[in-house]
Amino acid sequence: MPRPVTLFSGQWADLPLQTFLKKAKSFGYDGVELGCWGDHFEVAKADQKYCDAKRALIKKAGLQCHAISAHLVGQAVCDNIDERHKQILPDYVYGDGKPEGVRKRAAEEMMKTAQAAKRFGVKVVNGFTGSSIWHLVYSFPPNLPKQIENGYKDFGKRFKPILDEFQKQGVRFALEVHPTEIAFDIASARRAIEAVDGHPAFGFNYDPSHFGYQGVDYTKFIYTFPDRIFHVHMKDVAWGIGDGTVGVFGGHVDFHKPERYWDFKSVGRGMINFEKIIRALNDINYGGPLSVEWEDGGMDREFGAKESCEYVKRIDFPASKIIFDAQFAEK
């Protein structure tokens, strides 16, 4: 059975859910991944009646749903909180904006998200963690002894209770490994696992677009963490494309400007080798969704989402069930 191809609703939260579902179906998607913002999936309202109604709406549209995503609230659990967070958090989480209070309320909301996911009938919540040490990734003055280690300890202290609740609910948390998070490449992902003592509810929402422009081997990531790839985003990126005035850090230049060294692209139009990814996912027996997170500042999103769906369905293929040379021994 082919893997379901789904569309992440995060970049479509300006549309009512019903409108988004109709569009996703018309583009050819098998299902959707719902972001926990807009009216797509509201954790504060997610009692059983609400969850059943959402599920019925998705079924009526002829679609599936295998995951919800809590990137925005998750970001506030470990971050150094400032006024930027007000624009992404529910008012009841941001509150008075005092950093430790925001972090604690965000952690509580993540636990409630695990409970809501169970009621809704999904086994995976994708999201971010934030990081108290991201600003030290390339730092001068030099980092002090144990400064980075303490950042991972802070992550472990804050996230292990959240993960315990996820495990209790039979749901897993999939961190989208990404710059600004506690894990942003293979080395930092290893440290994140260690920081939560290898918690079984902690794994990854694999997204190759965040590795390519960094120079991280994005297929090696799959082979390094075969048992912790809980969900997959299909998202493309191109790098080495600017005019030489902006580097990998972005130069404080907005996306989709000709100066940028890298930029996200519609799936199949960037530099990610998706065939290598499909082969690696087959090797680790990943059978979950391939969820398109569509971003391309130079293309109409409806055109791009439809094209991306067609592309992903075309390049996905099942693993072989035979050993090729063994046929010659058959009589």
pTM of this structure:
0.96
Buried b (16+ CB within 10 A) or exposed e, 244-274: eebeeebeeeeeeeeebbbbbbbbbbbbbeb
Residue-by-residue DSSP string for 203-236: EEEE-THHHHTTT--HHHHHHHSGGGEEEEEE-E
Of 133, 69, 127, 131, the residue nearest 103 (C-alpha):
131
Residue 288: phi and psi, rounded to 5, are -80, -170
Confidence (pLDDT) at 2: 85
CB neighbours (10 Å) of residue 324? 7
Q: How far is CA 46 from the centre of its chain?
A: 21
What DSSP designation does 31 have? Answer: E
pLDDT for res 327: 59
5-329 maps to which CATH number? 3.20.20.150
3-state secondary structure of 102: helix
The pLDDT value given to residue 67: 98
Structure tokens at 177: 């490994």
Question: Where in the chain are the domains?
Answer: 5-329
- Residue 164: CB atoms within 10 Å: 15
Residue keyed to tokens 């997959």: 232
**Residues lower than pLDDT 50 in the chain:** none
Element (H, E) at 55: helix 48-60
Question: For residue range 166-205, what is the model confidence (pLDDT) as tens digits?
Answer: 999 999 999 999 999 999 999 999 999 999 999 999 999 9
At 155 the pLDDT is 98
What is the pLDDT at residue 1? 62
d(CA 191, CA 183): 8
Residue-wise pLDDT for 106-159, tens only, equals: 999 999 999 999 999 999 999 999 999 999 999 999 999 999 999 999 999 999
Nearest to 110 by CA among 57, 172, 28: 172
Residue type (1 letter), 8: F
CA–CA separation, 185 and 131 (whole Å)? 14
Of 3, 33, 25, 20, the C-alpha closest to 292 is: 33
Q: What is the pLDDT of residue 320?
A: 86
Per the listing, tokens 């995951």 go with 67
- The dihedrals phi and psi of 125, each to the nearest 5 degrees, come to -115, 115
- C-alpha closest to that of 160 among 110, 121, 90, 225: 110
Own/partner long-range contacts of 79-82 (Cβ < 8 Å, ≥24 apart)? 79/103, 79/130, 79/131, 79/132, 80/132, 80/135
Give the pLDDT of residue 325. Answer: 64
Return the beta strands (E) in the chain as ranges: 5-8, 31-35, 64-69, 124-127, 172-175, 202-206, 229-234, 236-239, 262-265, 290-292
Kindly report the CA angle at 73 between 69 and 74, in degrees rounded to 5?
A: 75
CA atoms within 13 A on the CB side of 305: 26
Please give the pLDDT value at position 65.
Answer: 98
